[in-house]
């Protein structure tokens, strides 16, 4: 998959309010079971499982077996790759060029 | 995903003045925040140390590619090479180009940095870590994105 397609799939996976709410619950960085993620929502276990699988497919969530349960953990790396890094370099250049502007226009 | 950054800036200064600020190592060091002691020479590696607040003393190293007076100044480097423990020299560098054009108001400068697609994945993550806003902002971006695209709950 090209990086572009990969990023598009990350956003497609998050372009769903239910999945976004699951990601928000997972974004404390702690592993959570399906029961925990189902609690306090009107979703069924099956629905949560299905959404977690979509998130797992794009690498935002990692599932691991712990005893009899599967625990799910949030991994922000694909998001960083999608949005963060060029913006950051870009912002640094903006600052540098503004310093140059001040320097030559003085 | 674009693999390069392109920025333009209009400078109210004659092209000769802008060229000096780019090509004279002492002047370059002043606005770029570097302690630099050797002049820029094509084909040579140039080493200096950063004076930018928060990154003082870090090694800054470039390889000068082109010096075409009042037109083009370019070098390769390893962007955001901020971890002294990492040997960045094994990675493909990116190419930084400053292009100048004379305009009636002064000088148009176009900055291009290309080759980000060749950076290892871990470096993209590292670079992001330098960003103070971090993850919280990303989550906000996604929320805004979702809201804007009016995606309904399934």
- Residue-wise pLDDT for A56-75, tens only, equals 988 889 999 888 889 999 88
What pLDDT is recorded for position A29? 77
State how far the Cα of B37 lies from the Cα of B46, in Å rounded to an integer.
9
Pick among B2, B4, B5 to test the A interface (most A CBs inside 10 A): B5
Residue B133 has phi, psi (to 5 degrees) of: -70, -35
A5 in reach of chain B (CB within 8 A)? no
Residues 8-37 of B with CB under 8 A from A: 9, 11-13, 17-18, 21, 27, 30-33
Count of C-beta atoms within a 10 Å radius of residue A21: 15
Contact assessment for residue B54 and residue B4, using Cβ atoms and an 8 Å cutoff: no
- Minimal Cα distance from A26: which residue of B? B139
pLDDT band with cut points at 50, 70 and 90 for residue A2:
low
Q: What is the mean pLDDT of residues B85-108?
A: 90
State how far the Cα of A17 lies from the Cα of B47, in Å rounded to an integer.
50
State how far the Cα of A33 lies from the Cα of A39, in Å rounded to an integer.
10
What pLDDT is recorded for position B129? 46
Residues constituting chain B? 154
State how far the Cα of B101 lies from the Cα of A19, in Å rounded to an integer.
49
B139/A27 touch (CB, cutoff 8 Å), yes or no: yes
ipTM of the complex: 0.77
Residues of B whose CB is below 8 A from A95? none
> Which has the closest alpha carbon to B122: B147, B76, B90?
B90
Q: What tokens were used for A59?
A: 């690498």
State how far the Cα of B64 lies from the Cα of B18, in Å rounded to an integer.
18
Kindly tell me the burial class for residue B107, based on how many C-beta atoms sit within 10 Å of its own C-beta (0-12, 13-18, 19 or more): buried
Q: How far is B59 from chain A (nearest CA, A)?
A: 17
The per-residue pLDDT for range B2-50, each reduced to its tens digit, is 578 888 999 999 999 999 999 999 999 999 999 999 999 999 899 999 9
Residues of B whose CB is below 8 A from A99? 31-33
Q: Highest-confidence range of A23-32, A45-54, A69-78, B111-120, by mean pLDDT?
A: A45-54
Q: What is the mean pLDDT of residues A75-100?
A: 76
Q: How far is B52 from chain A (nearest CA, A)?
A: 10
Chain A to chain B, count of Cβ pairs less than 8 Å apart?
113
Q: Highest-confidence range of A8-12, A28-32, A62-66, B33-37, by mean pLDDT?
A: B33-37
Torsion sign over Cα B104, B114, B75, B56: positive
Share of chain B above pLDDT 90, in %: 50
Kindly tell me the burial class for residue A63, based on how many C-beta atoms sit within 10 Å of its own C-beta (0-12, 13-18, 19 or more): middle
């Amino acid at each position: 998959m090209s990086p572009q397609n990969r990023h598009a799939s990350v956003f497609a996976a998050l372009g769903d309010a239910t999945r976004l709410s699951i990601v928000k619950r997972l974004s404390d960085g702690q592993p959570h079971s399906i029961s925990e993620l189902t609690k306090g929502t009107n979703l069924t276990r099956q629905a949560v499982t299905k959404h977690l699988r979509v998130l797992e497919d794009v690498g935002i969530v990692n599932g691991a077996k712990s005893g009899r349960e599967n625990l799910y953990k949030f991994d922000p790396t694909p998001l960083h790759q999608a949005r963060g890094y060029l913006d950051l370099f870009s912002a640094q250049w903006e600052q540098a060029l503004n310093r140059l502007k001040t320097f030559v226009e003085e | 995903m674009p693999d390069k950054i392109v920025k333009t800036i209009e400078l109210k200064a004659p092209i000769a003045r802008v060229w000096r600020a780019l090509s004279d190592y002492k002047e370059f060091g002043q606005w770029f925040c570097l302690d630099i002691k050797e002049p820029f020479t094509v084909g040579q590696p140039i080493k200096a140390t950063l004076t930018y607040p928060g990154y003082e003393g870090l090694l800054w190293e470039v390889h000068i590619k082109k010096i075409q007076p009042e037109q083009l100044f370019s070098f390769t480097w390893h962007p955001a090479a901020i971890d002294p423990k990492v040997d960045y020299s094994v990675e493909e560098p990116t190419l930084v180009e400053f292009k100048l054009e004379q305009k009636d108001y002064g000088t148009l400068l176009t900055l291009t940095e290309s080759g980000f697609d060749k950076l290892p994945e871990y470096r993209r993550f590292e670079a992001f870590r330098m960003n103070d806003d971090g993850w919280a902002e990303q989550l906000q971006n996604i929320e805004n994105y979702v809201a804007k695209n009016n995606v309904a709950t399934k």
